[in-house]
Amino acid sequence: MKSTKSYFTKNINILYLAIICTLLWGSAYPAVKIGYKFFSITSDNIYGQMLFAGVRFFFAGILTILAGILLNKKLIIPNRKNILGISLLGLIQTTLQYIFFYIGLSNTTGVKGSILNSISPFLVIIICHFITKDDKINLKKALGSLIGFVGVIIISLGSTTGSSNNFSLFGEGFIILAAVSSSVGSVISKEIANDSDAMTITGYQLLIGGFVLTLISFIEGQPNVVILKEGIALLIYLSALSAIAFTIWTILLKYNSAGKISIYNFLIPIFGSLLSALFLYESVFNIKNIISLICVCIGIYIVNKK
């Protein structure tokens, strides 16, 4: 256990593991939008979007639990005292976050969505300041968060290719609400992870959250989606990336302060923007996007600078 903690608290290991997680999450922005095309899910087909999200996270939960069983060579079951916390985490970090995320992303660009979603680490730092004793805001965190937040404001005020000049509640607004849900979930995950196995937490919270999303998708009958083999392959990729990224992230949160780890979320808009530009042919190299990304990068640097 001591060697495990030492590995996951070493700065260089935190860096490359955080890069893996944020690269995977960044790739989800273009992947989800491509998935909408494969499954013929339009921006007004909310229940189709919920089915897409629900199936993705339900199978991500199954993959994580199976991996945990193989690694531990026994069935992994949550501790009785953690069942409520894991259920709450699933509802907030998976169900609620991705209701907002999937609807929001269908009404804005991948580039804009990835940058707006970077508000999450600012919120984690603020929340942790009020509820934890060892993760208080200092001048460095405040300055880094402020500069990064400026980047979020800049991207939300203007337009990118394929979006309007207006701020849309069901587009940009829902992406920000997804970030709020993610931030609250990170804090809850940190509290639960202190005395539980990361794969158990990740697997069951994804399973519960994905199941609820799937149920929501059938509220008004069968969702209108078209199933293609390309869509199935993409769904498998999205499920796998969620299982891998959430498990690694939960382990990092277990052995480090939430503020220290969540700040790496600033890398998500970098990867999300570049991959959206690459795969969706969206505009990323304009002055507004570049300034926003620079602010985000400076925010990361300041918060982590010794």
Q: Which pLDDT does position 204 carry in this prediction? A: 93
User: Is pLDDT larger for residue 33 or for residue 116?
Assistant: 33
Q: Which pLDDT does position 160 carry in this prediction? A: 44
Mean pLDDT of 270-279: 83
User: Is pLDDT larger for residue 197 or for residue 37?
Assistant: 37
Q: Which pLDDT does position 212 carry in this prediction? A: 94
Q: Which pLDDT does position 176 carry in this prediction? A: 87
Question: What's the pLDDT band for 259 if we cut at 50, 70, 90?
Answer: low
Confidence check: pLDDT of 210 > 90: yes
Who's near 26: CB < 8 A, 6+ residues apart?
A: 114, 267, 268, 269, 270, 271, 272, 273, 274, 275
Residue 198: name the closest of 246, 149, 132, 142 by CA. Answer: 246
CA distance 203 to 246: 9
285-305 per-position pLDDT tens digit: 778 778 877 887 787 777 766
149-207 per-position pLDDT tens digit: 787 677 656 544 444 456 678 888 898 898 888 888 877 877 777 667 778 888 899 99
In the chain, domain spans: 2-304
Mean pLDDT of 38-47: 84
By the 8 A CB rule, do 268 and 204 touch? no
Mean pLDDT of 64-83: 85
Q: Which pLDDT does position 161 carry in this prediction? A: 42
Mean pLDDT of 214-239: 82
Residue 61: name the closest of 225, 212, 242 by CA. Answer: 242
Instruction: Tell me the whole-structure pTM to 2 decimals.
Output: 0.77
